[in-house]
Structure 1
């Protein structure tokens, strides 16, 4: 059998317990995550770091498997037991042959908007109507749930006032259980190991908390609405494929109370607030250049993966405790951009062709990157200052471009202007931008004598 070879940074999952390590070996439990640091001198071994404890040691190549990226699959569902609008009799047919605890959820045809939980028990099919009360769901006015995911999770563990505990979901034809796929690939985390802290932000779709997962500081985005959670599942699946020092790293997901997306915690918040609250006296030009390069390298990586971000802006760049800038919110990131809801587009950051013809590409990301550079060098000012939003689109189409921010190095302003070429094909690639910024970084170092 040929030896697997993993590059440093590869994420792996332990296949078994290793609780009595020899000196120099890493201790781990089945299901723990480790990061490969380097190939060891000992044949068949790697030096790896335990993701939770941070300890480093030897690990046998045969005792771990690579954490897989999950394929983006439209049939992946957080609610594979949800069959949509089907009638009672059809539901009964689907739950044959009878089996205690076999169940599905459907939308009521008689009471549109209400749900029905259908359960097989002692050769009968029992239909429980799920009612909405004060924005929550309930069957018996005793237990209340934010959404169906929660409700099913509860009744799979507790009988409550229904005839039997739910034992086996009847999957809708063609769907795949997201929970199973996430679990198999090693991305499903355990709610009991998560300690939730304070809310650190209120997103459009739910709160973001700081927390700790097995000793590691994390940020947790909780999406309660099941329809939105389903939409975010796709974003999360895209994130399982991506690993780069300038992208916020996904650690995994928890299915409880909707969807919890767990990522590394970025202690210093977003770049706009970072720059605004500290200002010129604290943040020097070298640091601005470092941030610009960080973002550019992350975008070059997305460009290499043929992913378009579509919402690149300083508010979506987060800063780690070590002052590294990382790109977050692949919320709109799509492999093949389809039309989006134009009302949601951030006009001041979006390229003219994307606003007009919804043509999103890496080159429209480059336009947004130019705006982001302007935000960085103006220390977090709102782009197109003093201009009304409705005028921006029109003026920009007529050829208007922002002036350089105060004290902005001419080289950087030239780069900004190149990002704002009307013809997308004339804009530089992220690779070209990175090369120019790196040259500037070297010059900046040699002149400052550091």
Structure 2
């Protein structure tokens, strides 16, 4: 019996072991909750990917249609324009002196950084539209000479018939005979790129099919800021808020220059004579883009110009790095803005009045000589002048910095003047 019992126990043990081995070989079944979570994640990723593809395709299609429309618009063919403009017999002129002393320098308005800019792959986008102007030259009556520039003259003018984009009073720039068509094309292209801005003189129309070439711009009733300050100096000096008004005008000019910077455009001729006034101080407008450079359309300004070309520049407004290192960038315009602040405080005086010869001016600028501090100028503006004239140029503020500082000054002024009038000045 004992032997039989032992045999039964052994058999039972072997069956139990076999059963355990069989159980271990069966795979573990997946948890249904885990499976559902995995499916949900995969489905979510797939749906998100499909949505992103649809959105990107839509944006690409919209961008492509805009580009095609722009190319078709700029490549449109226009017919020849009317005969050149001739001043009317009743034209009244005022005496305007050449206030910018120019020097011939075999240098380019270019920086090493600018030489890296990529030229557009579509040359047709560089050129303005040609052909019929919106107005007839014979309908323009020149009334008063505003200023004589280095490449043309600015007139106040009136349309005797019709309007130009709603304007009956206009400013007409008539180029000098030696001004090349290519230069006018570049100026028009830059003005069109800058678009509408409250502190830029707007381009309304142009005619560069026949000489003299002509640009039509919106009206500014008070002429240049330089002539306005000179004519009204005695009255302005009696105004207790004069420094506040100067600060408002400076704010609007800086705002315009910050807009140029956002469009990658360097003005290269920023001076009080190139600021038009419709209402002082809240409606001042930057103009004259004959020397301006569009960095998005430059691969190498040096390589695209003839070696013998010698450009005239307004040296009294130019920074020392231009004369030392053949370098002019955005901070060069900042230097010129500092000169504008000085011009306003001195009612349109010529910078460096004690220096007569061009070579003498260049030598002193490069040696660190600066304009004397104007009497009666507020300390904040004096400090801004010093900041704009710092060397090296990378220590100078940007126009965005300048706008912010001027806004803070005007906000402080609002604590001591009528708040409503201050807000109106800032919003104009």
Q: Does 1:335 align with 2:287?
A: no
Matched, 1:354 2:322: yes
Which residue number corresponds to residue 254 of structure 1?
A: 207
* SS class of match (2:394): helix
**Which residue in the other structure is 1:241 paired with?**
193
Matching residue of 2:385: 416
Matched ranges for 1:195-274 at <5 A:
195-200=140-145, 201-213=147-159, 214=163, 215-223=167-175, 225=177, 228-242=180-194, 243-255=196-208, 257-258=210-211, 259-274=213-228
Pair 1:308 & 2:254 matched: no
Q: Quick one: distance in 1 between partners of 2:406 and 2:125?
A: 45
Quick check: which one's strand share is greater? 1
Shift of 1:287: 1.4
Contact 1:77 1:178 in 2 (8 A): no
- Aligned partners of 2:403 and 2:373: how far apart in 1? 20
Asked whether 1:275 is paired with 2:229, we answer yes
Q: Any conservation in 2 of the 1:309–1:330 contact (CA below 8 Å)? A: yes
Which aligned pairs between 1:69-88 and structure 2 lie closer than 5 A?
none
CA distance in 1, matches of 2:408, 2:125: 49
In structure 2, the gaps of 5 or more residues are 1-65, 86-121, 420-428
| Alpha-carbon separation, structure 1, partners of 2:77 and 2:170 | 25
| Residue 421 of structure 1: how far off its partner (Å) | 0.8
Give the alignment partner of residue 326 of structure 1, picking from 285, 294, 297: 285
Shift of 1:256: 5.9
**What root-mean-square deviation, in Å, do the aligned CA atoms of Structure 1 and Structure 2 show?**
3.7
Distance 2:264 2:128 in 1: 28
**Equivalent in the alignment of 1:369:** 337
Higher helix share: 2
**Is the counterpart of residue 435 in structure 1 residue 404 in structure 2?**
yes
SS at match of 2:368: coil
Q: How many angstroms apart in 1 are the aligned matches of 2:244 and 2:351?
A: 22
Change (3 A) 1:355 1:227: same
Please give the alpha-carbon distance, in whole angstroms, between the structure 2 residues aligned to 1:330 and 1:180. 15
- 5+ residue gaps in structure 1? 1-64, 81-144, 148-173
How much does 1:387 deviate? 2.2
Note closer, same or farther for the CA distance 1:420–1:196 as it changes in structure 2 (3 Å cut): same
Checking the alignment, whether the CA contact within 8 Å between 2:158 and 2:169 is kept in structure 1 is yes
Q: Tell me, what secondary structure is at the counterpart of 2:273?
A: helix
Structure 2 distance, partners of 1:77, 1:380, is: 44
Summarize the Cα distance change of 1:176–1:370 in structure 2 as closer, same or farther, 3 Å threshold: closer
Match of 2:370 among 381, 401, 418: 401
CA contact (8 A) 2:258 2:400 kept: yes
Counterpart-to-counterpart distance in 2, 1:182 and 1:253: 9
Cα distance in 1 for residues equivalent to 2:76 and 2:175 = 17
Q: How many residues align?
A: 290
Deviation at 1:402, TM superposition (A): 2.2
Whether the aligned pair in 2 keeps the contact of 1:77 and 1:176 (CA below 8 Å) is no
Structure 2: distance between partners of 1:355 and 1:210: 36
Question: How many angstroms does 1:286 deviate by?
Answer: 1.6
Q: Give the equivalent residue in structure 1 for 2:105.
A: none
Aligned 8 A contact 1:210 1:219 in 2: yes
Is the Cα–Cα contact under 8 Å of residues 366 and 419 in structure 1 kept in the other structure? yes
* Aligned residues of 1:78 and 1:179 also touching (Cα < 8 A): no
Could you say which structure has the greater relative contact order, defined with CA pairs below 8 angstroms and 6 or more residues apart? 2
Structure 2 Cα separation of the partners of residues 222 and 246 of structure 1: 22
| TM-score (normalised: structure 1) | 0.57
